[in-house]
Structure 1
């Protein structure tokens, strides 16, 4: 997909690729940020960028060496791919994590407001700490996703919060003049059972409690005596690993998640002596026939998108990594009808249990 900025044409693609041709690598909220920067003649130095999922802003502003805060491994790969596509130095974008201190302080921060307002709060905490007295923060969002909570969060951190007029169904909130305030917590606890609480960073799925799909899955999960090496795919805060290790205390579990904050959260919740953590979006680091059991509550929501292409690609890799005689247990929302896609990779698909919202499958 082509985009022209400052008389230069750029090619920006999505990673991973999708079969849904209507999905682009940017939206008008991204374009609105660039429009504002040009019209206001904003000085582009010491820039921080948040929630740039496919690297659109990072690539177009690469000459200014922005610091891009990476939430996902797939995001990091996407930025790298798009820098290469446009013959740009792959080191021109400085990569940092959501938990890092940003130094030197930024003069300008650009943030696409995420779907999770808990994550937005965590990111505002990071950008507030990286701001000087005259730092300007430009927040962008599509108008249909507006919530007054966005303004409430902005007002917690900055004196001036000016909202723009709508343009191509998007708006901006421009923040200036940081308030004096105490540092906020970026972690919280959610209850799993009477005896177990999970600690996780704000913005990690699910925010208030263990999600219903995982609860239903755990009720039906079976770990056998022969399941010595287990993969937890899309591991989140580690709740499935916790249950697997409860059922089989000597099992070794490999946790894989595309989310940096999810992996960092899971490290606080499971036995580190029997767990290995992988901040990755695929299974390329594992050999064929590696696992006795694979467990997953696979992703299909990506911000405001519903997209099963990523899950289908992961199913293909699960088949490769699963030992002969091993099993792949997963839970899925009924409306996705994943059974059809699972038959592309597995010979036997058993419905273990089903309710009005979710289905638990066992694939061999």
Structure 2
């Protein structure tokens, strides 16, 4: 079996990076972004393309990474005659742009305006129904050609989004470690490399050491070294780490939680953070490790129990549905190094909830 590591063709991060986007896109471009994001980036993007006498057009994103939206945008690409697709905004807009680029055989540039997930770097699009329920993973043959992150834009985004990104990144090391112990294949169909596991561990260490300071910078709407480090952890380290290291229980728990209407107001990373705690309980991780994760989540404001997820009553039938969905055939929870059943997952959810309510002790 081959060892495989995946990464974007180029990763660019820094203050004011958006002003140089045309030098990385290199062609007639179609920007897929919602109206709010277009308002944030349009002037800088237009100026950059004008400087290189290249054309750029903007197409509104419908809000959900679903098959209908992907098909609509494919038609728009055919009409526009563009040579490159630029996806801008949050994870769903970026995943949609990646899928459209794949089906239209065009290069794609990712411009995350928030650091809320590791979607920008991955060769993966998470497809939902038009109602926001998880549908499937679309595995793409290559990673984005360019990922461009302007940290000035990130610093002005709502702080909850940065925290959600930390929640998504929090799972990276623990899932990669579990997948490696279970000798599971990564998303490229190969064995994780030592580099991927080292990046996943660095991702976790960066979160623990820099997360609260980065949050303080984001609250002040300024860019600091801590914020730069967390943006890199949320975006690149987590992206390469999860994809090349592998997923396990935390993201499967997230997928189960999407069934609950009570959780629809949550961001991806907020649900993944609780899924990480459930995974640690499921594998009977050392107490010190669980305490460290709980302390971190409490420090930055990530949910650690069901009440914080919006689940006000312990409806066992609903929670069993979550556990069953997490254990569905083909789910990443089966990358754990032991057999996992819905009963075990349900027990871990309830125990994690109690740990979260109790707090660190």
TM-score range, shorter chain: 0.3 to 0.5
Q: Larger radius of gyration, structure 1 or 2?
A: 1
Under a length normalisation based on structure 1, what TM-score does the superposition of the two structures give?
Answer: 0.33
Higher strand residue share: 1
* Bigger RCO of structures 1 and 2 (CA < 8 A, at least 6 apart): 2
Under a length normalisation based on structure 2, what TM-score does the superposition of the two structures give?
Answer: 0.33
Higher helix residue share: 2
